[in-house]
Copies of this chain bind each other. A is one copy, B any other.
Amino acid sequence: MNAELHPTSKPSRLEALTRALDQGTMRQVHRLVNSMHPAEVASLLESLPPTQREVVWDLVDPELEGDVLVELNDEVRAGLISEMDAEELVAAAEGLEVDDLADLLSDLPETVNQQVLRSMDSQDRERLNAVLGFAEDTAGGLMNTDTVSVRPDVTLETVLRYLRMRGDIPDKTDALFVVNRHDRYLGVLSVTRLLTEDPERTVGEVMDTAVEGIPPDLPANRVTSLFQDRDLVSAAVVAPDTRRLLGRITIDDVVDVIREEADHSVMSMAGLDEDADMFAAVVPSARRRGVWLGINLATAFLAAWVVGLFETTIQNIVALAVLMPIVASMGGVAATQTLTLIVRGLALGQIERANARWLLTKEIAVAMLNGLAWASVVALVSFAWYRQWKISAVIFAAMVVNLLAAALAGVVVPLSLKRFGVDPAVAGGVIVTTVTDVVGFASLLGLGTLILR
């Protein structure tokens, strides 16, 4: 078995490369890097600190450079591009697929863009412009123009002969697209049927007309659900009005979108940018992270201000200051649980007005049960600590109130954010924990003021 496929291959590759770099055995580095697939080289480059990254990049074979650039994350790519001269960039852009080239062009300096466009033949340039006309996160932006199309009135035998004459079929062609002479999309001829049906039959007899084309303005996340729900390998992109065949989307690009979406949802919850370079310089990294810390600081001041309202109470009953973190922390955890559940449901299209009320009721019931259970534990422990049943009663009530507030905020906040067009995965966490901090402190210290003083 090839060692490359072995479970531990990726880690050991990074280690091997780092060791070779440290020892200065550049021929070994060169061999190692150029035996890998472009996506693997990209991942390796992303794993290297800036100086090592530049050394390795210089050793990547020129014919690989374009494909590697396409696979890199935005910031790392921009960094490498800024060090390349125009000639290298034009060479790297050559031979890229149209959708990849469209992505790359947006990162290139304008003068290089012009050069790349001039170096293309007019047909390719036209194709590129077709893709550039659509936003990157739509079906149109994801498509390639490398479709193979056939007419309905020819026989399969003719198609087979045509393909042999053509001598080349694009990767991931699991179906040819059937169009009329005005290039209007009629359906698909799957390669499987082409291979198994009687060659005397016509394309029109064998084609599948039930497979719809995708409109170019369909958002990328809808494209991914379509591919997933229907187990597609490729799909036609068709203009909704003229029904003209514009291009096709292939599963490899869809998989990349799925990965990026997943990455985005994890990173954005912590206020991080999934396109940022893990090895970016300290000052820009600090600035980016600082924004999120600043937003959090504003909410923390709000919570502190609430505590400040009860200074006299705290001075009299210090126990409340000790118990404060417990109420706030439990509320934050409970709210995050409900929020995560709702955000996922929204992302999957599984939560709407129709079932939101049911979920809210359920979440409040769950919060009630857990509130009563854990508040009892906290009440008992604090009784053991302070021997004052009134203190136990106050923290018990504050915890129940805060867990109910957590459930309410966990459901209502993401639904409202979504309605106002704000990504609930990004803003939701900050808001719900602010709610539980404020409600937690206010209920604990407020009840404490009423009952204990």
A residues at B contact (CB < 8 Å): 1-2, 4-7, 10-11, 14-15, 18-19, 37, 39-40, 43, 46-49, 160, 163-164, 166-169, 171-174, 191-192, 194-199, 212-215, 218-219, 222, 225-231, 233, 238, 240, 251-252, 254-256, 258-259, 261-263, 265-267, 269-272, 278-279, 282-283, 285-286, 289-290, 292-294, 296-297, 299-301, 303-304, 307-308, 311, 314-315, 318-319, 321-326, 328-330, 333-334, 336-337, 339-341, 344-345, 348-355, 358-359, 362, 365-366, 369-370, 373-374, 377-378, 381, 385, 437, 441
Contact = CB atoms under 8 A, between A and B. Distances in A.
Contacts of A226: 5
A184 B231 CA distance: 30
B15 A349 contact: no
A300 B282 contact: no
Contacts of A195: 160, 163-164, 169, 191, 194-195
A272 B218 CA distance: 32
A351 B198 CA distance: 54
Contact of A262 (B213, B262, B293, B345): B262
A308 B386 CA distance: 11
B294 A374 contact: yes
B333 A228 contact: no
Contacts of A292: 333, 337
A325 to B, nearest CB: 5
A96 B111 CA distance: 56
A265 B265 CA distance: 10
The 8 A-B pairs with the shortest beta carbon distances in the complex, nearest first, are A262-B262, A18-B354, A39-B229, A47-B350, A231-B252, A286-B369, A270-B340, A321-B321
Contacts of A311: 318-319, 321-322
Copies in the complex: 2
A405 to B, nearest CB: 15
User: In this complex, which of A192, A230, A437 has the most chain B Cβ atoms within 10 angstroms of its Cβ?
Assistant: A192
Give the dominant DSSP class at A's interface.
helix
A378 B183 CA distance: 66
Contacts of A278: 341, 345, 350-351, 359
A229 B68 CA distance: 11
User: In this complex, which of A2, A231, A262 has the most chain B Cβ atoms within 10 angstroms of its Cβ?
Assistant: A231
Nearest to A262: B262
B329 A283 contact: no
Nearest to A240: B1
Given A169-B195, A294-B374, A230 B37 contact: yes
Nearest to A159: B195
A437 B321 contact: no
